[in-house]
Structure 1
Amino acid sequence: MVVRLRLARHGTRNNPFYHIVAIQNSKARNARPIEKLGEYDPVPRPARQTAPPTAYAKLKNAPGYNGDIITSGISSQVQMEKHLEWNEKRILYWLKTGAQPSKPMARLLDRAGLIPPEKRDLYKGLFRQRLTSVDEPVSSNKPDA
């Protein structure tokens, strides 16, 4: 039984939402997984902020009241962020038992630092940077004129 860590797509059209799951390799994308490990929302959405001001905050004696202006604590600039939530202990457990991450999942794990540098060659889909020494001179193919 080959177990994969991969993304199961949920959500609606043009609004994807993924569950991070441990599932048998031969199963369909959205089949029932062995274990749900987390959630990933790749669409940037407004960051979770404080709630709008309550009726109490609108009173003149409430903190935050400055004459005519009532400050609510909500920033005028909305920050957009992607949402990623997972159980790191369970993901490391599945990797230790031999589960292979899919290419997108391997990239997420690599960015989070869950894949050690010595094991980066084991997983497909990771960006492999060419290592060059600082002492090595860079050779050019241009002839001297």
Structure 2
Amino acid sequence: MAVKIRLARHGAKKHPYYRVVVADGRMPRDGRYIEQVGRYNPMTNPKTIEIDLEKVDEWVSKGAQPTNAVSHLIDIARTGAPAAEKKAKLSKKAAAKAAEAAKAAAESAAE
């Protein structure tokens, strides 16, 4: 049986909330799991990461494989560093407005 430590999605549409679970690799993402070992909420500021590292280490010693996302969360939980915030990209219209405003400010400063 391939055991994985992965995220199970909960929460409402466009408001995700994840549980870090130990599950059989053949089970569906949000299906039956063996044990819940943590929680992750990306909607709070800063992002909330609560993982029981002792349970995770115990399962890894038994052969459970964490997914890439869970490995990253475990590293963040071990170091205690806050999760890196992604830079919000401007839409094309907003970028054009910002460029126009900067150009107008440069012209007024040159006069």
TM over 0.5: yes
Structure 1 residue runs without a partner (length 5+): 45-79, 115-145
Return structure 1 stretches of 4+ with deviation > 3 angstroms.
Answer: none
Matched residue, 1:16: 16
- Are 1:113 and 2:78 matched, yes or no? yes
Equivalent positions of 1:29-108 (< 5 A) are 29-44=29-44, 80-108=45-73
CA RMSD in angstroms, aligned pairs only: 1.4
The Cα shift of 1:36 comes to 0.7
Counterpart CA distance in 1 for 2:72 and 2:17 is 17
Counterpart CA distance in 2 for 1:12 and 1:81 is 20
Residue type at the aligned position of 2:43: V
Identity of aligned residues (%): 35
Deviations 1:89-145 (A, max 9, x none): 11110011110011100111223338xxxxxxxxxxxxxxxxxxxxxxxxxxxxxxx
SS in 1 for 2:43: strand
Residue type at the aligned position of 1:27: M
Aligned length: 79
TM-score normalised by length of structure 1: 0.51
**Higher Cα radius of gyration:** 1
TM-score normalised by length of structure 2: 0.66
* Structure 2 contact 50–77 (Cα < 8 Å) conserved: no
Moved more, 17-26 or 101-110: 101-110
